[in-house]
Structure 1
Amino acid sequence: MTTRFTIRPARLGEAGVLTDLCVRSKAHWGYDDAFMARAMSELTVDPDWIADGLVLLAEHGALPAGVAATADEGDDVWEIALFFVDPGHMGKGVGAALFAALRTLARDRGARRLTILSDPNAEAFYRRMGAVRIGEERSSSATGRLLPLLALDP
């Protein structure tokens, strides 16, 4: 089933609501409160990213259904800094459309390669979007936890 939604740049003042969406989305995978508290910095939408036009919002009616952000890592490499879909909208096409829009945004900003440090639960989604695994990196939220590192051309 597909959800009707629109994708637009996030607006200043929406950082809090979008951060809440990121937290709901991450918590959907059953992480405990201690892990969620350690992950907060990774789930927080930076208002400066919004001001720089690097955050996209998928909207269903007047409610956020997904949020994504990209950041310039230098040497024409950009990363997907945030990518979260509200649990009620998972599996309904929001993520695929948001991903396509984020790729376009990064490409338009000069990206020649996109990297993704993925939650293990999201790796299959990114692979469906065309990303390939290029390695692993240690999580900053959990000791000893390795996260898939993926990449693709925008």
Structure 2
Amino acid sequence: MKPQIRPATPADAAAISQVIIRSLRQSNAQDYSPDIIAQVEKSFSIESVRALLSQRQVFVATIENRVVATASLDRDVVRSVFVDPTHQGRGLGRQLMATIESIATEAKIEVLRVPSSITAEAFYFKLGFRKVRDEFHGAERTLIMERRLPALRPS
């Protein structure tokens, strides 16, 4: 079945939280210690996700009305791009990023930034992002990556 990309609603908060936590535990756990995974998980409780919905433009990818991936845009920063591990490698992350880039381009954002996990670096690199620097939050290493967006052509 073809995935649908749509804006997230408060009713999606529990499903978004589950997708993120599953992805952290299965995919990101290959690159980060259990302590770091547990710390990051706290930022994605159902309540935290519900709060993020009012602060960012959050999108979900659904298959048969089930949330299987999410991504958000916070001004010029891409945040919280996660795909359920059972659906990774099928282009859902790319589709969500295309949606976010389209919105950013329409908003005349010139440079899109993303704080990437080590796990996602190759994904963003394939999309044209380049590493600018490392940031450390305690023992957690995050890669700050950027991509210049094409200017929207006047019609």
Please give the TM-score of this superposition, normalised by the length of structure 1: 0.82
| Matching of residue 137 in structure 1 with residue 135 in structure 2 | yes
Tell me the equivalent position of 2:74: 71
Distance in structure 2 (CA, Å) of the matches to 1:25 and 1:87: 6
Q: How does 1:28-43 map to 2 (within 5 A)?
A: 28-29=26-27, 30=29, 31=32, 33-43=34-44
Deviations 1:63-114 (A, max 9, x none): 1121001102xxxxx1112100110110111111111111112223342211
**Structure 1 portions without partners, runs of 5+:** 73-77
Deviations 1:18-57 (A, max 9, x none): 0111111111123554322211244355334434660010
Report the Cα offset of residue 127 of structure 1. 0.4
| Matching of residue 56 in structure 1 with residue 59 in structure 2 | yes
Q: Is the 8 A contact 2:9 2:53 kept in 1?
A: yes
Distance in structure 1 (CA, Å) of the matches to 2:107 and 2:140: 32
What is the letter of the counterpart of residue 149 of structure 1?
Answer: I
Q: How much identity, in percent, do the aligned residues show?
A: 22
Tell me the equivalent position of 1:46: 49
Tell me the equivalent position of 1:7: 5
| Matching of residue 148 in structure 1 with residue 146 in structure 2 | no
Distance in structure 1 (CA, Å) of the matches to 2:74 and 2:144: 16
Tell me the equivalent position of 1:24: 22
Tell me the equivalent position of 1:122: 120
Task: Indicate the larger mover: 79-88 or 12-21.
Answer: 12-21
Q: How many residues align?
A: 144
Residues 41 and 111 of structure 1: CA distance in aligned 2, closer, same or farther (over 3 Å): farther
Q: Is the 8 A contact 1:49 1:69 kept in 2?
A: no
Residues 133 and 32 of structure 1: CA distance in aligned 2, closer, same or farther (over 3 Å): closer
Q: How does 1:98-109 map to 2 (within 5 A)?
A: 98-109=96-107
RMSD (Å), alpha carbons: 2.1
Residues 48 and 35 of structure 1: CA distance in aligned 2, closer, same or farther (over 3 Å): closer
SS class of match (2:124):
helix
